[in-house]
Amino acid sequence: MGLDIDFIDGQTPLEEEEKEGLLIPSIATRGELDEFEQQNIEGAVQWTLGRSFKPELIFTEDFIRTLHKRMYGNVWTWAGEFRKTNKNIGVDKWQISSELKYLLDDVLYWHKNNTYAPDEMALRFKHRMVSIHCFANGNGRHSRLMADIIIEKICKQPIFSWGSSKLAKEGDSRAAYLKAVKAADRGDYSALIDFART
């Protein structure tokens, strides 16, 4: 297998068997992988445009899996499938379905009862998605697109700007994003909300 990529701070390394799921054998560098993944993600974003999604559709395991497959299905064979290995982040692989079910039940409750302001609801959901870490890779980008779908399609608010830069690359924006995520880990969502709207 020719794929030998370095992972930056906050990214989850792939196991060898996960790397073997690469559908484009010519990819050999992180830059090439990022480019193909970004093209696939842009297709997933296009799929969401002009569609109306109801909470009962979005807040399901099927939608979570379908969106991940749409984001990465042209690049990885395991796109849309829950991870089969434990990572440096996330719940045990056997707990993914049950923890996701708890989250989906919670977010439906939050939505129906206006528990949080729209931005906070979407970002609490995004943060818990990452902490579960459903997939072998792409969890951050997937959770950000989920937050955008929630805020736009359900809450009828503008999508998030996410610091107006590509968070897959090292730099000040990524450092600020990771700092905000770590604050959310401690229960303080204010920095993540501010970052998502800058």
Q: What is the mean pLDDT of residues 87-108?
A: 97
DSSP 62-131: HHHHHHHHHHHTTTBTTTTSPPSS--SSSS-GGGHHHHHHHHHHHHHHHHHHT-S-HHHHHHHHHHHHHH
The top-level CATH class assigned to 16-196 is mainly alpha
Between 120 and 2, the higher pLDDT residue = 120
- Position 139 scores a pLDDT of 95
Report d(CA 92, CA 194) in Å as an integer.
31
Q: pTM of the entire structure? A: 0.91
pLDDT digits (tens, 9 = 90+) for 131-154: 999 999 999 999 999 999 999 999
Amino acid identity of residue 72, one-letter, is Y
Instruction: Check if the beta carbon of residue 30 is closer than 8 Å to that of residue 11.
Output: no
Between 169 and 91, the higher pLDDT residue = 91
Q: Is the pLDDT of residue 166 over 80?
A: no
